[in-house]
Copies of this chain bind each other. A is one copy, B any other.
Amino acid sequence: MASLIEPRVLKGFRDFLPAAEIERRDIVECIEAVFRAFGFAPIDTPALEYTEILLGKGGGETEKQVYRFNDSGGRDVALRFDLTVPFARFAAEHRSELTFPFKRYHIAKVWRGENTQRGRYREFTQCDFDCIGTSSAASDFETLLIMKEALDAAGAGGITIRLNHRGLFNRFLQRIDAGAKSVEILRAVDKLAKIGRDEVLKLLSGELDGKRADSILRYVETTGSWDETLDAMTAVAGGDNPDSQRLRTLRGFMFETGIEDTFVIDPAITRGLDYYTGIVFETLLNDMPSIGSVCSGGRYDNLGGLYCKEALSGVGSSIGLDRLIAAMQATGKTATRETYAELALICVDEGQGGLYQRIAQRFRAGGIPTLVFLEAKKQGAQFAQAEKKGIRWALIPPSASETEADGAPGGLVTLRDLRTRQNSAGLSVNAAIDFLKKTKKNETGTRTGTPD
């Protein structure tokens, strides 16, 4: 035998075994169901794009992390590092084919060659949704509502969405004559939670005199109720204006839908990225705020600016699936099963493989996913294997192929509850299906949103 190759994955990349993958699918499907229920439509884009498209005129921090190479045709290509840039390219390229406002979602892998410390991976999944082509308050609000609904549906537990408005912040900066440094200031403030007050003050003092640096810190540390905070922010921004009005409108919509408790106004939320111009937001899990934001985004007024002359304004948000799942695992909010099957059909006689599938097909048609065991091992071993996979029920099939009155495969079967180890013998296939359907109906726990 030739020498073996060590089976291993690249650092920062992961295999997902069935239990982990089913857990991910369950959560993604809950999130996706919410996107769909709101009429957001899925799109997909290539994993690989021209580097020029992804990095634009020079990528800064991002550039170092990108998986970039020349393909065999000599093209300079790269793996996408987020879903926002490909969406900007997509929207610019297909703008004549889309109906605006355009609501889309995109759940897909992205790749970054980051350091792999602390649960950071080089391949990870983002769940993005955006609505472009409208600057309406209704669109901002829908984004916030979907965030809450999607995270509720995923089973994330209590969340707090921290909301701010870039425009309002900029008005304040203009007013203290610090508008020219707004990008640097926003980036410094964005690091507040990570590096602390003193370090941010140092960063700000590098850009501005001490008095203004200090007033910026006082601004972002404004506390109080929503109204108190907003009033204070509005006052230092020079009084009521369209941006403060937008936050008031959104607050009214929150009360109308009964979701006001989920939101706080936080002048320290800036999001580091240049392109946000309106509301910006981050989401913390109440049980584990330390893991950081699991869903962030904001409003932008020129998404496709690198690729087309038309301004594409919109609002969008992105759920960091891997971080969300890590937090849910840490706080005991996930369940484990290795299969979707709910019934295991025990193999008594390998020669009856056709009959067993015929019986299993009837359970499947009745909505009971059924795993057929293929080898006639000892029954105890088969029960144990089914249990290990998280299957609750086992079916011991009849020994020969009789036919029921309705033409169905026949003989009487035994249904075993692997949880209680109780057998129910002498059931017809139909009776066993009915019993499982009824049990399932009674026991179904649901993960759904919480509309009023």
Q: Which residues of chain A have a CB within 8 Å of any CB of chain B?
A: 1-2, 4-11, 13-18, 21-22, 24-25, 36-50, 52-53, 56-57, 64, 67, 69-73, 75, 77, 79, 89-90, 92-94, 97-99, 101, 103-104, 109, 111, 113, 123, 131, 134, 136-139, 141-142, 145, 249, 252-258, 304-309, 338-341, 344, 347, 350-351, 353-358, 360-362, 364-365, 369-372, 374-375, 385, 388-389, 391, 401, 407-409, 448-449, 451-452
A21→B98 CA distance, assembly (Å): 14
Q: What are 13 A-B interface contacts by the 8 Å CB criterion?
A: A5-B53, A5-B306, A14-B46, A18-B43, A18-B104, A38-B360, A39-B371, A41-B339, A136-B350, A138-B353, A256-B401, A358-B452, A361-B451
Closest B residue to A304 using CB positions: B7
Q: CB < 8 Å: which of B90, B351, B362 contacts A451?
A: B362
When the two chains form their complex, are residues B99 and A385 in contact, meaning their CB atoms are under 8 A apart? Answer: yes
Q: CB < 8 Å: which of B46, B111, B339 contacts A9?
A: B46
Which 3 pairs of residues, A with B, have the shortest CB-CB distance? A39-B371, A256-B354, A253-B354
A73 proximity list for chain B (CB < 8 A): 11, 113
Q: CB < 8 Å: which of B4, B98, B134 contacts A307?
A: B4
Task: Tell whether A13 pairs with B48 under 8 Å between CB atoms, given A142-B357, A338-B41.
Answer: yes
* Minimal beta-carbon separation of A193 from chain B (angstroms): 29
When the two chains form their complex, are residues A15 and B111 in contact, meaning their CB atoms are under 8 A apart? Answer: no
A370→B111 CA distance, assembly (Å): 33
Task: Tell whether A374 pairs with B257 under 8 Å between CB atoms, given A48-B10, A369-B37.
Answer: no
* Minimal beta-carbon separation of A338 from chain B (angstroms): 6
When the two chains form their complex, are residues A36 and B340 in contact, meaning their CB atoms are under 8 A apart? Answer: yes
When the two chains form their complex, are residues A353 and B141 in contact, meaning their CB atoms are under 8 A apart? Answer: yes
A408 proximity list for chain B (CB < 8 A): 452
A131 proximity list for chain B (CB < 8 A): 374
When the two chains form their complex, are residues A141 and B48 in contact, meaning their CB atoms are under 8 A apart? Answer: no
* Minimal beta-carbon separation of A387 from chain B (angstroms): 11
* Minimal beta-carbon separation of A375 from chain B (angstroms): 6
Task: Tell whether A21 pairs with B37 under 8 Å between CB atoms, given A15-B93, A111-B48.
Answer: no
A344→B150 CA distance, assembly (Å): 20
When the two chains form their complex, are residues B339 and A10 in contact, meaning their CB atoms are under 8 A apart? Answer: no
When the two chains form their complex, are residues A41 and B13 in contact, meaning their CB atoms are under 8 A apart? Answer: no
When the two chains form their complex, are residues A256 and B358 in contact, meaning their CB atoms are under 8 A apart? Answer: yes
